[in-house]
């Protein structure tokens, strides 16, 4: 079984590491010569628009997949003409454009914040009048980890936000005063078989995921999240892992965004679930039976941003598991994560009190 991965970051790296015990082979396409997945799988260095490189990957692979959602639509189309591609190109197209994403959520009856499209300063003033402040101005494309966003709290913020973001199509969303953020990770196989991981609670810092805890015990919220994710899986004829991020407000979920790939908030599944999100994504795209998504005990994943803690100090915490991505340290860069596993919430809290300061001290 041969899997080609477009994108050579840490998600591709962890997909390969999960696939080798299954007997899967990998090749990775990435523009960067030092892409970290190239440390664990053969790397085809080339631009995502390079038809020759795409054809090389497609000719070798039984199936192609992605480690990020902003693969050019033209690249996905080239791959689809030559090999099987999962998730489908439509899912990538929807996730790449916040307007398309919000429209799909609305069509499927998935709650979303009020929003309006913005293509000029005049339209921005009109959108503010309709959506009301506070609101968040976002680029429609290429925003992630808090990039391409500006919170408008008063009318004095409008023109400054336009000067910073106003050269591309935008979306204005009502600001949601959420109580917490959660995510649902779902997986659907080629046969239509579906499975859902337990609800995850997430905390962000400066727009970047800081930590995820699982399982988050909230049966009604979990029921809602599974229902909404299932609607997306079925509408898109989806294959692979799909992550959907939600705000929690007044006992209900409000959708923020989706990611058609394995997701940072699912890294805990490597040690904390019967089958990791990475193995289940591969099982799905290869047409293999899905594995159990049940949690084992409880887990928290801490992102290492900028730099890594000392391995010896982190691993001295009982239940800690250390994941370095093979990236050079750099401010704001995800260079690894540490997962803490425990039998019960009390033990998890005790370990987190030891581990979190070590990770925080190295981050920046």
CATH code, domain carrying 166: 3.30.1490.20
In this structure, the answer to whether residues 216 and 342 fall within a common structural domain is yes
Q: Give the pLDDT confidence of 149-166 residue by residue, as tens digits.
A: 899 999 999 999 999 998
User: For position 148, what pLDDT does the model report?
Assistant: 81
Q: pLDDT tens digits for 263-312? A: 999 999 999 999 999 999 999 999 999 999 999 999 999 999 999 999 99
Same domain, 169 and 191: no
Q: In the structure encoding, which two tokens stand for residue 141, read together?
A: 């494309």
Indicate the helix (H) or strand (E) that contains 298.
strand 298-305
In terms of residue numbers, what domain contains 298?
180-362
159 with 187, same domain: the answer is no
Please identify, among 124, 141, 174, the residue that sits at the C-terminal boundary of a domain: 174
Give 33: exposed, middle or buried? Use CB within 10 Å, 0-12, 13-18, 19+. exposed
Q: Which stretches of the chain are DSSP H helices?
A: 10-19, 51-60, 73-80, 89-96, 98-107, 121-131, 158-165, 219-235, 269-272, 277-286, 311-315, 345-362
Is 10 within the bounds of a domain?
Answer: yes
- Specify the 3-state DSSP secondary structure of 88: coil
Q: Tell whether the model's pLDDT for residue 99 goes beyond 60.
A: yes
Greatest Cα pair distance in the chain:
58
Amino acid 119: pLDDT: 92
Q: Tens of pLDDT along 215-243?
A: 999 999 999 999 999 999 999 999 999 99
257 in the same domain as 238: yes
CATH of the domain at 293: 3.30.470.20
Residue 145 has pLDDT above 60, yes or no: no
Task: Name, in order, each residue with C-beta under 8 angstroms of 219's C-beta and a sequence gap of 6 or more.
Answer: none
Domain end residue (candidates: 174, 189, 218): 174
Using CA of residue 63, residue 64, residue 66, residue 72, what is the dihedral sign? negative
pLDDT at residue 144 greater than cutoff 70? no
**Is 119 found in the same domain as 72?**
no
Q: Which of 85, 106, 137 is the last residue of a domain?
A: 85
Neighbouring CB atoms inside 10 A of 256's CB total 19
Query: Is 100 part of any domain?
Result: no
- pTM score of the predicted model: 0.94
Mean pLDDT of 335-359: 97
| Total of domains in the chain | 3
List pLDDT tens digits, range 126-140.
999 999 999 999 999
């Amino acid at each position: 079984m041969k899997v080609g991965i477009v994108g050579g970051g840490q998600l591709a790296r962890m997909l390969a590491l999960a696939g080798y015990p299954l007997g899967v082979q990998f090749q990775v396409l990435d523009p960067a010569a030092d892409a970290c997945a190239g440390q664990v799988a053969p790397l085809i260095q080339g631009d995502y628009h390079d038809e020759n490189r795409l054809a090389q990957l497609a000719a070798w692979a039984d199936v192609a997949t992605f480690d990020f959602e902003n693969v050019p639509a033209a690249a996905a189309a080239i791959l689809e003409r030559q090999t099987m591609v999962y998730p489908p190109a439509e899912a990538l197209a929807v996730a790449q454009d916040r307007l398309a994403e919000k429209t799909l959520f609305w069509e499927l009856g998935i709650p979303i914040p009020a929003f309006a499209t913005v293509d000029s300063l005049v339209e921005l003033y009109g959108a503010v009048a309709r959506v009301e402040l506070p609101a968040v101005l976002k680029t429609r494309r290429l925003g992630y980890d808090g990039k391409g966003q500006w919170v408008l709290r008063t009318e004095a913020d409008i023109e400054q936000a336009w000067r910073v973001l106003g050269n591309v199509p935008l979306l204005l969303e009502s600001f949601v005063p959420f109580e917490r953020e959660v995510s649902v990770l779902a997986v659907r196989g080629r046969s239509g078989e579906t499975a859902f991981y337990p609800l995850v609670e997430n905390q962000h810092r400066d727009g970047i995921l800081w930590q995820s805890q699982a399982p988050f015990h909230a049966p009604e919220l979990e029921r809602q999240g599974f229902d909404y994710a299932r609607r997306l899986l079925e509408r898109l004829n989806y294959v692979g892992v799909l992550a959907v991020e939600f705000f929690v407000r007044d006992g209900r979920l409000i959708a923020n965004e989706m990611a058609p790939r394995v997701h940072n908030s699912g890294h805990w599944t490597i040690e904390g679930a019967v089958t990791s999100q990475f193995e289940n994504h591969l099982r799905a795209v290869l047409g293999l039976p899905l594995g159990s998504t049940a949690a084992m005990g409880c887990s928290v994943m801490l992102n290492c941003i900028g730099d890594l803690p000392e391995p010896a100090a982190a691993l001295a915490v009982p239940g800690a598991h250390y994941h370095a991505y093979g990236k050079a340290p750099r401010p704001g860069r995800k260079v690894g994560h540490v997962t803490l596993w425990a039998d019960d919430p009390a033990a998890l809290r005790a370990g987190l009190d030891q581990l979190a300061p070590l990770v925080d001290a190295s981050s920046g």
